[in-house]
């Protein structure tokens, strides 16, 4: 069975019709992992034995068509807790942490018959844009093994691009689903804040974090969102809004003739990579041919987004990461003389460099005397950024932007220049600050570098249905991407 050919939906159909057994499916993906993992280093843990055992049980009891993910292998970012399986956040701090409970996202996946086949690599505690901040290993981009897969969900995106599973889960605090999806040529959906429960999502920036699917087809993303979305009493910020059947609901938005697409002039400026510019122009032409109306809009506070995001996210991170003190769980230093010494050594040894930088900066912006100047100001600007979007949506249905100003960059190219790395988050962070949903879709390979180009559609809160409908339509019009070049031979 050549797993590269199949979407998650197709796999489930084949199992339900009796064409394949769940065990065959799981074995085929494990084999694919074996063939590709040495090249891309996308995974931190392969759940081989449990996955095979579950598959056998499922085959014994016969297919259950009421389960939406029956038999589909799924890769989970290591920031989500998985019962009995290491959940490390790619940090030394949690290297030996085996949670005794599933994140709500994971629980829902299992409830629908999805099989957790592996945990994926990431930037430590989801802090980064290249997966180079993993304490264990950098992941490589399947299109070019000398380049980064993006981050922080680079393991999930690279894994899905390499068909190690049809579907993976990432999390997005400032772009970490959409940017790696764009870099690896797959689909990444960041849902509206509150659409998906954060219970068991190890916190980075609690007011920004959101889990979502990374897939190779838009329909798989729609299916996944229907499974993981919805109110959870264990997360008070999860929304009670009813969850539609996205696969059905999105059909309403596939006719682009009645759709008005806003192009924010602050996003479409000089400085974009020429490959991205060129592919985007071709994509605009396609949208017009399909009948969509493209209009220029303005999001005037865009220029403050990166600064605002980094102040808020570092403040929240410094507070969230205070729990790793060497006392309750996680890493503890071997040689401490007294309590304070134990805290200091535990945290200095357990956290990587980027995490420590953010804790220090986050503590600084929250400190008495600076709180008003930095944190409070950032919280105010955040409101203005959100208001820009809400105003824009009175003139258009969705907004279209680049995901990243650059194509996947070389490993080590930016890792010693944090400011350049942060600035690359310019097009993704505004959505997290505003709580809005966004989808990143591949629109082709660049003419010069032959690397995937991803673009982002943004919708009003809770309108993932429109995003999915439009994305599904254009996916049908675009040429499918070939197999990632780095995996050949
Ligand atoms: N690159 C951003 C950061 O480093 C976003 C990360 C994320 O979305 N988890 O914070």
280 within a domain of the structure (yes/no): no
Q: Is the CB of 128 under 6 A from ligand 1?
A: yes
Give Cβ neighbours of residue 373 (< 8 Å, ≥ 6 apart).
none
Q: Measure 275 CA to ligand 1 centroid, in angstroms.
A: 24
Please tell me the distance from the alpha carbon of residue 122 to that of residue 77, in angstroms, as a whole number: 7
**Pocket perturbation via mutation, ligand 1, pick of 198, 212, 425 by most ligand atoms within 8 A of CB:** 425
Place of tokens 């400085």: 271
Angstrom CA distances, 329 to 79, 100, 325, 346, stand at: 16, 12, 8, 11
At 383 the three-state DSSP class reads helix
Helix or strand run (H / E) with residue 189? strand 187-190
Kindly report the protein residue whose alpha carbon is nearest to atom 5 of ligand 1: 174
Both tokens of residue 469? Answer: 């409908």
Q: What is the domain extent for residue 196?
A: 3-262+394-487
Q: In whole angstroms, what is the distance from residue 343 CA to residue 354 CA? A: 18
* Residue 438 beta carbon below 6 angstroms from any ligand 1 atom: no
Q: What is the C-alpha separation between 425 and 2, in angstroms, rounded?
A: 36
How many distinct structural domains can be found in the chain? 1
Report which ligand 1 atom has the smallest distance to the Cα of 313: 10
Looking up residue 117, the CATH number of its domain turns out to be: 3.90.1300.10
SS3 at position 456: strand
Is residue 210 one of the residues assigned to a domain?
yes
Distance CA 459, CA 18 (A): 39
**What's the CA gap between 283 and 455, in Å, rounded?**
9
Largest CA distance in the chain: 71
Q: Which two tokens stand for residue 317?
A: 């991170």
Task: Indicate whether 424 belongs to any domain.
Answer: yes
CA pair distance 168, 485, nearest whole angstrom: 21
Indicate which residue's Cα is closest to atom 10 of ligand 1.
127
Residue 64 lies in a domain: yes
Q: How many whole angstroms separate alpha carbon 218 and alpha carbon 440?
A: 10
Ligand 1: residue whose CA is nearest its atom 4: 128
* Ligand 1 atom nearest residue 129's Cα: 1
Residue 387 falls inside a structural domain: no
- Contacts of residue 98, Cβ cutoff 8 Å, sequence gap at least 6: 84, 85, 86, 87
Cβ proximity of 135 and 91 under 8 Å: yes
**Which residues, in sequence order, are bridge partners of residue 440?**
188, 456
Instruction: Choose one of 89, 129, 149, 314 to mutate for the ligand 1 pocket test, by most ligand atoms within 8 angstroms of C-beta.
Output: 129
| Per-residue model confidence (pLDDT) at position 6 | 98
Query: For residues 220 and 214, what is the distance between their CA atoms, to the nearest angstrom?
Result: 9
SS3 category, 418? helix
CA of residue 151 to ligand 1 center, whole Å? 7
DSSP at 229 = B
Shortest CA distance to 241 belongs to which of 480, 65, 461?
Answer: 461
In ligand 1, the atom with minimum distance to the C-alpha of 128 is 4
Q: Is 127 in the pocket of ligand 1 (CB under 6 A)?
A: yes
Dist. CA 73–CA 124, nearest whole Å:
24
Q: List, edge to edge, every strand of the sheet that includes 398-402.
A: 43-46, 115-120, 73-77, 167-171, 211-215, 187-190, 438-445, 452-458, 398-402, 260-264, 293-297
Tell me if 43 CB under 6 Å of ligand 1: no
Domain contains 482: yes
Whole-angstrom CA distances from 221 to 239, 363, 423, 467 are 19, 37, 28, 11
Q: Tell whether 352 is covered by a domain.
A: no
Q: How far is CA 125 from CA 140, 148, 435, in A?
A: 19, 18, 20
Q: Is 176 in the pocket of ligand 1 (CB under 6 A)?
A: yes
Q: Are strands 167-171 and 73-77 parallel, antiparallel or unpaired?
A: parallel
Q: What whole-number distance in Å separates Cα of residue 320 and Cα of residue 314?
A: 10
Q: Could you read off the pLDDT tens digit of each residue along the chain, which spans 489 residues?
A: 999 999 999 999 999 999 999 999 999 999 999 999 999 999 999 999 999 999 999 999 989 999 999 999 999 999 999 999 999 999 999 999 999 999 999 999 999 999 999 999 999 999 999 999 999 999 999 999 999 999 999 999 999 999 999 999 999 999 999 999 999 999 999 999 999 999 999 999 999 999 999 999 999 999 999 999 999 999 999 999 999 999 999 999 999 998 999 999 999 998 999 999 999 999 999 999 999 999 999 999 999 999 999 999 999 999 999 999 999 889 999 999 999 999 999 999 999 999 999 999 999 999 999 999 999 999 999 999 999 999 999 999 999 999 999 999 999 999 999 999 999 999 999 999 999 999 999 999 999 999 999 999 999 999 999 999 999 999 999 999 999 999 986
- 159 close to ligand 1 (CB < 6 Angstrom): no
Residues with active-site annotation: 77, 152, 176
Query: Is the beta carbon of 433 within 6 A of some atom in ligand 1?
Result: no
Residue from 41, 154, 43, 45 nearest 97 by CA = 45
From the CA of 127, give the closest atom in ligand 1. 4
Structure letter (DSSP) for residue 169: E
Q: Are strands 398-402 and 438-445 parallel, antiparallel or unpaired?
A: unpaired
Cα of 27 from ligand 1 centre, angstroms: 34
Q: Indicate whether residue 469 lines ligand 1 (CB < 6 A).
A: no
Reading the block at residue 97, the tokens are: 């942490």
In this structure, is residue 132 part of a structural domain? yes
Q: How confident is the model at residue 329, as a pLDDT?
A: 86
pLDDT for res 489? 65
Q: Which letter does DSSP use for residue 411 in this model?
A: T
Q: In 3-state terms, what secondary structure has residue 101?
A: coil
């Amino acid at each position: 069975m050549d797993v590269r050919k199949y979407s998650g939906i197709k796999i489930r159909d084949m199992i339900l019709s009796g064409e394949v057994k769940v065990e065959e499916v799981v074995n085929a993906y494990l084999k694919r992992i074996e063939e590709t993992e040495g090249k891309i280093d996308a995974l931190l843990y392969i759940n081989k034995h449990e996955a095979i055992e579950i598959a056998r049980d499922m085959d014994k009891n016969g297919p259950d068509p009421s389960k939406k993910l029956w038999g589909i292998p799924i890769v989970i970012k290591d920031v989500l807790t998985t019962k009995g399986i290491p959940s490390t956040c790619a940090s030394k701090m949690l290297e030996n942490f085996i949670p005794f409970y599933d994140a709500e996202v994971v629980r829902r996946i299992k409830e629908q018959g999805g099989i957790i086949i592996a945990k994926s690599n990431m930037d430590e505690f989801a802090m980064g844009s290249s997966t180079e901040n993993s304490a264990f290993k950098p992941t490589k981009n399947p299109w070019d093994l000398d380049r980064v897969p993006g981050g922080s969900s680079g393991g999930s995106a690279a894994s899905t691009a390499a068909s190690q599973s049809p579907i993976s889960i990432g999390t997005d605090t400032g772009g970490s689903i959409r940017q790696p999806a764009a870099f690896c040529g797959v689909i990444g959906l960041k849902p509206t804040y509150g659409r998906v429960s954060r219970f068991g999502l190890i916190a980075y920036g609690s007011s920004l974090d959101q889990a979502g699917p990374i897939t190779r087809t838009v329909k798989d993303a729609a299916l996944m969102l229907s499974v993981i979305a919805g109110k959870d009493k264990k997360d008070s910020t999860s929304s009670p809004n009813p969850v539609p059947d996205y696969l059905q609901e999105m059909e309403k938005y596939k006719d682009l003739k009645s759709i008005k697409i806003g192009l924010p002039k602050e996003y479409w400026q000089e400085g974009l990579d020429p490959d991205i510019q060129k592919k985007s122009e071709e994509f605009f032409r396609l949208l017009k041919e399909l009948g969509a109306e493209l209009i220029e809009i303005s999001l005037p506070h865009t220029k403050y987004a990166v600064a605002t995001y980094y102040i808020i996210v570092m403040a929240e991170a410094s507070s969230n990461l205070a729990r790793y003190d060497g006392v309750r769980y996680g890493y503890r230093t071997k040689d401490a003389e007294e309590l304070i010494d134990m805290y200091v050594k535990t945290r200095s040894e357990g956290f990587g460099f980027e995490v420590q930088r953010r804790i220090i900066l986050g503590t600084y912006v929250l400190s008495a005397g600076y709180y008003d100047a930095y944190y409070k100001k950032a919280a105010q600007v955040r409101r203005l950024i959100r208001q820009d979007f809400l105003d824009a949506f009175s003139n258009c249905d969705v907004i279209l932007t680049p995901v990243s100003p650059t194509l996947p960059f070389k490993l080590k190219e930016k890792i010693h220049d944090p400011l350049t790395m942060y600035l690359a988050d310019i097009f993704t962070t505004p959505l997290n600050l505003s709580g809005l949903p966004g989808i990143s879709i591949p629109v082709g390979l660049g003419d010069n570098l032959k690397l995937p180009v991803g673009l982002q559609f943004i919708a009003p809160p809770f309108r993932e249905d429109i995003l999915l409908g439009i994305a599904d339509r254009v996916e049908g019009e675009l040429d499918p991407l070939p197999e990632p070049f780095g995996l050949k031979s």
